Chain A
Amino acid sequence: MNYHWNWAIFRELSPDGVHTYMDTLLAGLWWTLASALAAWAMALLLGVAVGAARTLPGALPRRLASAYVELFRNIPLLVQMFLWFFVLPELLPRSAGDWLKSLPDAPFFTAVTCLGFFTSARVAVQVAAGIEALSRGQKLAATALGLTLPQTYRFVLLPLGLRIVLPPLTSEFLNIIKNSSVALTIGLMELTASARAVQEFSFQVFEAFTAATLIYVLVNLVVVALMRQIERRAALPGRV
């Protein structure tokens, strides 16, 4: 086979004349982490709220929460990306739409919004499962102590439920890092897009993709190691 390997390519200057190809990849990594972390914060807030709503006594909040989850789970992420980026600005009043389109870093904000909503639906399912896994006695005891429903959630059900679902939440966080690569379709220069750029300008396909793969694996390992520490400290004593 006649593929010419050239691992020194990462030290060569990229077409901007200032940065090396390595810098291109690192900038991509920065955008990947920034969008994943921002979207994760959003997904956690929304997901905990919607997940709690799925366990409320009333039928209406349950049904609304289910509709929310089904909406974001049954449309491919790529299509959701397009809806936020291409469709939303057209549906808003003209001035608001134009403002959205002219935002600097519009792909970044769109990607965060899209990934945040997309992941929040998955977080909500896990959070609801965590709360439902608690014994009914917890809620009954809280009521017997005179806690109101919001207090019961705030002080009893959510702290316990979230500690149970920490492991599945870790894998959702790993997913959000991977899913941020879909944002390259709306022009976010995250890690995969950067690897593509290196490949297009330098023609060193396999070096560029190998480097990106290694970086993803490394990020994965670091996140897993960190989360195992947190999981170990937060694990509920007495549960398997």
Chain B
Amino acid sequence: MFADFDFDVIARSWVYLFRVGMLFTLKLTVLAMTGGIVLGTLLALMRLSGLKGVALVAAGYVNLVRSVPLVLVIFWFYFLVPYLAAWVIGAAEPVKVGPFWSALVTFTLFEAAYYCEIMRGGIASVPRGQVWAAQALGMNYWQSMRHIVLPQAFRNMVPVLLTQTIVLFQDVSLVYVLSIPDFVGAASKVAQRDGRLVEMYLFVALVYFVLCLALSRLVQHLQRRFAVA
């Protein structure tokens, strides 16, 4: 069944696949991860702040985002971001936003909800005595968060945050629905142009499999090293 396999199509296109597609996927993953963790940590602080209104807003946002499929969120922001941008800069007409920026806003806001829940668990895992000790030293809320609680919460959660990032790395493939050439989108373009769907999609699956397996092994290794005895 592999007799009429055309390996040449991969040899011809792999440079394009990695230089355009994989680069886009990695760039989006890293930027959305960074933005998502920052925003997610803020949301977690809001949820734990003890201010009823603030906590409620953050919880509402997180629960709303987590109950809607990513594909729908991608469509939402694809149409919404031009209006948001117009509102921000005060333009009368919706602003044209490039696919990269639209996708980046989408993934940052979407993943923030998931990172928030992870950071919330991380902050809760820091013993309360740490906060009291910080207060006893005369630190205010922000100082104790910045110097005492968040570093420990972050360290405890590094493996889980990275696991979520592997999920994000796989989820980026869904920008395919906007015909953006990420790794899958680029492969699909070549596949359709050359009529070589079998070879291209198997190749894509293999690349993802190897990368994600290696990353998750790395996370397991970190988990053992970071584990607080």
A residues in contact (CB < 8 Å) with B = 1-3, 70-71, 73-80, 82-83, 86-87, 90-93, 174, 177-182, 184-185, 192, 195-196, 199, 205-206, 209, 212-213, 216-217, 220-221
* CB pair A181 B69 closer than 8 Å: yes
* CB pair A185 B177 closer than 8 Å: yes
- The answer to whether B176 has its CB under 8 Å from any CB of chain A is yes
> Which chain A residue shows the least CB distance to B175?
A78
* CB pair B213 A74 closer than 8 Å: yes
| CA gap between A205 and B82 in the complex, in Å | 13
Query: In B174-204, which residues have CB < 8 Å from any A CB?
Result: 174, 176-177, 184, 188, 197-198, 201-202, 204
* CB pair A192 B209 closer than 8 Å: no
* CB pair B79 A205 closer than 8 Å: yes
* CB pair B72 A70 closer than 8 Å: no
B93, B94, B201 — which one has the most chain A CB atoms within 10 A of its CB?
B201
Known: A86-B197, A91-B198. A76 touches B72 (CB 8 A): no
22 contacts between A and B (CB under 8 A): A1-B83, A70-B216, A73-B216, A74-B208, A74-B216, A76-B208, A78-B176, A78-B184, A79-B184, A79-B201, A82-B184, A82-B188, A90-B198, A91-B198, A174-B67, A177-B69, A192-B69, A199-B79, A213-B72, A216-B72, A220-B67, A221-B67
> Which chain A residue shows the least CB distance to B94?
A1
* CB pair A181 B71 closer than 8 Å: yes
| CA gap between A220 and B69 in the complex, in Å | 11
Contact among A74, A83, A93, A209 with B76 in the assembled complex (CB-CB below 8 Å)? A209
* CB pair B208 A192 closer than 8 Å: no
Chain A residues lying within 8 Å of B212, measured Cβ to Cβ, are 73-75
* CB pair A184 B201 closer than 8 Å: no
Chain B residues lying within 8 Å of A216, measured Cβ to Cβ, are 67-69, 72
Contact among B83, B184, B208 with A3 in the assembled complex (CB-CB below 8 Å)? B83
Q: Please give the distance in Å from B175's CB to the nearest CB on chain A.
A: 10
| CA gap between A213 and B71 in the complex, in Å | 11
Known: A74-B216, A79-B173, A91-B198. A1 touches B87 (CB 8 A): yes
- The answer to whether B11 has its CB under 8 Å from any CB of chain A is no
* CB pair A79 B68 closer than 8 Å: no
- The answer to whether B51 has its CB under 8 Å from any CB of chain A is no
* CB pair A209 B174 closer than 8 Å: no
Q: Please give the distance in Å from A231's CB to the nearest CB on chain B.
A: 18
| CA gap between A179 and B173 in the complex, in Å | 13
* CB pair A75 B205 closer than 8 Å: yes
- The answer to whether B170 has its CB under 8 Å from any CB of chain A is yes
* CB pair B205 A79 closer than 8 Å: yes
Known: A91-B1, A184-B71. A83 touches B174 (CB 8 A): no
| CA gap between A93 and B201 in the complex, in Å | 19
